[in-house]
Amino acid sequence: MTQERAIDPVYAAQLTLNGLLLGLLYALIVSGLALLFGVLGIINFAHGEFLMAGAYLMAFALPVLGLAYLPSLLLAMLGVALLGCLAHALFLRRLREDEFERSILMTTGLSILLLNAVQYALTATPLLVDTQFGFDGIDLGGINITWTRIAAAAAAILALLLLWLCLTRTQLGRAMRAIAQNREAAMMVGIRPEAVARNAVILATALCGLAGAALAPIQLVQPSMGQFLIFKAFALVIIGGLGSIPGAAIAAVLLGLLESWIGGFFDAVWQEVVVFVAMMLVLLLRPDGLFGAPRMRAG
Amino acid sequence: MLRHLPPLLALLAAALLPALGASPYVLGIGITACIFTVGAASLNLIYGYAGLLSFAHLAFWGIGGYCTALGAVSLGIGFWGGLALAGLLNAALAVLVGIPALRLNRHSFVIVTLSFSLLTALVARDWVAVTGGPLGIPGLPAPELFGLSLRSPPRFYWLALAFAALSLALLRAVTTSRIGRTLKALRQNEPLAQAQGIAPTPYKLLAFAISAALCGMAGGMQVFYMQVVDPLILDFYYFQTFLVMMIVGGAGHFWAVVIAGIVMTVLPELLRATAELRMVIYGALLLFAMVAMPGGVAGALESWRDARRRATAERPDPVTAAAS
């Protein structure tokens, strides 16, 4: 059975496309995490809950906006960015440098609060999200792709491209990279770390909200949807080299492909284990190189 | 001897609870308080004293639960044998995980210990032959002592209380010993401690192993209280609860964490809070503690006391007087 499937080119192509999409969505999540580590020096344990918030905003915005995909996507993204801005103003702003454990505990508190508040208010019942595309798709020689997946992939590619342009071509992005590379020197030339940190949080949470919103019509929306995804994302950030956005994004796309192939040809267990095995290997082979220098590179 | 009096009196009062006619519901809260306090206190040893934020304790807690259950059900060494095995296995696992994890910096330590917990949860769910998969191992037998079943609420309560008393006594002994002081020194200034000829890693590993063993045995108590072990024992809820108890009480303050463990188990029951609402409150408390009082209640009290002492001592400090 599995042998036959392994040879079938249509099945393999379907898996590859699914994996590519999954990887692109991972890349959105992971690049935000890497940005936050680079600029603020924190690991955001509430990132999964921002993703969940994006999915719920999408689920609520769609019926109100007459199922229109793009406006709902933008609204959800904006909403999550606002939430991120609020989280920075209330909590993250108070973190000083070298308060790594405090940042984890703080974002863990935020994660517990958001997850259980949503569960309390909306119950844990999963939502099925309908869009203007319905569940239709296109057929490419036997490979079936739904429009919601195509739209999600397009949005992810566009967002990643814009992120790269922002980091390399705009003053906003250069300031973020400057803070990540050398905080003191950046301050000496007049960059205000707090404003840059706020921008980074808004950017990272907007990317995460976009990922959640794009994911909403593809899988079930439920409060715990961000939890397992985020742990994979942490492992990816290590594999890609902490603080390196392209590294993390490439690792994310590769993982998406790998997971899809493994899930298609082997037992589903290995699909979930592969990321942790990869992380252990990377840590064993390059224990310092990946975590050692918390510097952010953008190209 | 006198300083041991308040905890011993509290223990005596707690032991008299069933005799005073407490209902099974109240005793159930008491059992949870005993088990969770040990969990929070074990986390306090590794974070409050050794300064390592370990997410592996969720795995230790779950492995302890499975190990004790398997000891009684499959290995035929009974509840006590299983509990002892849970302690030993977790201590060994802590050393195995700790050696590579401590070689990395503190960022990686967090992620590696977290991944260990996630992998353990996957193993618990998917290694059906041993763990029973998603269904787990139901119908755990009652622990026995000299042929006496400890199933009834008063008896299990006494068992949990004795377990908590012994565990906390051991943790107290460790934290007040030279080991505890060394750990504190390492947390405050590792290079300075190293310059005094202290090798950090063995001390950290020892703290990690003791803390893991006790957390695992607490997990064993928990599954025998619930009479079932399934992958839900590895739910993040347990770890988050221990974490919030430790942080709100005051990491590095022994009795503050113990009191926080008891109060934060009893108070939500008094308020009749649902599971979600309790976690909403816990999350808010953790956030509030991290914003307003990173040292927890004990840390806030300590700094308030210091501030008052400084205010009352009007005599100028000789050092600053000389400098000005």
Write the pLDDT tens digit of every residue in A188-231.
Answer: 888 888 899 999 999 999 999 999 999 999 888 999 888 878 88
In the predicted model, is pLDDT for residue A289 greater than 70?
A: no
Helices (H), ranges, B74-152 = 78-103, 106-126, 128-131
Q: What is the pLDDT of residue A291?
A: 41
Integer Cα distance of A68 and A145 in angstroms: 19
C-alpha A226: how far from its chain's center? Answer: 10
In the predicted model, is pLDDT for residue A4 greater than 60?
A: no
Identity of the amino acid at A46: A
Would you give the DSSP letter of residue A127?
B
Alpha carbon distances (Å) from B185 to A93, B50, B103, B207: 30, 9, 19, 14
User: What are the residues whose beta carbons fall under 8 Å from the beta carbon of A174, sequence distance 6 or more?
Assistant: A167, A168
Q: A117 at the B interface (CB within 8 A)?
A: yes
Are the beta carbons of A273 and A154 closer than 8 angstroms? Answer: no
Q: A291 at the B interface (CB within 8 A)?
A: yes
Q: What is the pLDDT of residue A28?
A: 92
Pairwise CB contact (< 8 Å): B291 & A104? no
Q: What predicted TM-score, i.e. pTM, was given to this entire model?
A: 0.87
Are the beta carbons of A264 and A11 closer than 8 angstroms? Answer: yes
Q: A92 at the B interface (CB within 8 A)?
A: no
Q: What is the pLDDT of residue A81?
A: 96
Q: What is the pLDDT of residue B323?
A: 54
Give me B21's structure tokens: 């006619």
C-alpha A165: how far from its chain's center? Answer: 18
Q: What is the pLDDT of residue A2?
A: 47
Determine, yes or no, domain membership for A297. Answer: no
Are the beta carbons of A11 and A263 closer than 8 angstroms? Answer: no
Integer Cα distance of A208 and A33 in angstroms: 9
Q: Which domain holds residue A197?
A: 2-291
Give me B305's structure tokens: 């006391």
Nearest residue of A to residue B126, measured between CA atoms: A269
Please, is A94 exposed, middle or buried when counting C-beta atoms within 10 Å of its C-beta (0-12, 13-18, 19+)? middle
List the Cα angle B188/B189/B194 in 5-degree steps: 135
Give me A19's structure tokens: 């994996």
Determine, yes or no, domain membership for A299. Answer: no
Pairwise CB contact (< 8 Å): B291 & A43? no
Q: What is the pLDDT of residue A112?
A: 92
Angle between helices B200-226 and B78-103 (to 10 degrees): 140
Residue A46: which of A192, A253, A209, A238 has the closest Cα?
Answer: A209
Q: A106 contacts in B (CB within 8 Å)? A: 286-287, 290-291
Determine, yes or no, domain membership for A298. Answer: no
Q: What is the pLDDT of residue A23?
A: 92
Alpha carbon distances (Å) from A228 to A183, B54, B111, B265: 33, 18, 14, 27
Are the beta carbons of A26 and A252 closer than 8 angstroms? Answer: yes
Integer Cα distance of A135 and A127 in angstroms: 15
Are the beta carbons of A112 and B243 closer than 8 angstroms? Answer: no
Q: A118 at the B interface (CB within 8 A)?
A: no
Q: pLDDT digit string (tens) for B71-116?
A: 988 888 888 999 999 999 999 999 999 988 888 777 778 888 988 8
Q: Most confidently modeled of A56-60, A62-66, A90-94?
A: A56-60
| Residue A95: count of CB within 10 angstroms of its CB | 20
Determine, yes or no, domain membership for A217. Answer: yes
pLDDT classification of B60: cutoffs 50, 70, 90: very high
Strand (E) positions, chain A? 137-140, 143-146
Domain of residue A80, CATH code: 1.10.3470
Pairwise CB contact (< 8 Å): B122 & A110? no
Number of domains in chain A: 1
Asked: is B2-237+254-274 a CATH 1.10.260 domain? The reply is no
Pairwise CB contact (< 8 Å): A109 & B290? yes
Beta-ladder partners of A143: A140
Determine, yes or no, domain membership for A87. Answer: yes
Backbone angles phi and psi of B50, in degrees to 5: -90, -10
Above 0.85 for ipTM, yes or no? no
Backbone angles phi and psi of A117, in degrees to 5: -65, -45
The pLDDT of B224-237, averaged and rounded, is 90
Residue A104: which of B299, B278, B110, B252 has the closest Cα?
Answer: B110
| CA-based nearest distance A287→chain B, Å | 6
Identity of the amino acid at B239: F
Q: A136 at the B interface (CB within 8 A)?
A: no
User: What are the residues whose beta carbons fall under 8 Å from the beta carbon of B73, sequence distance 6 or more?
Assistant: B137, B140, B141
pLDDT classification of B167: cutoffs 50, 70, 90: very high
Structural domain spans, chain B: 2-237+254-274
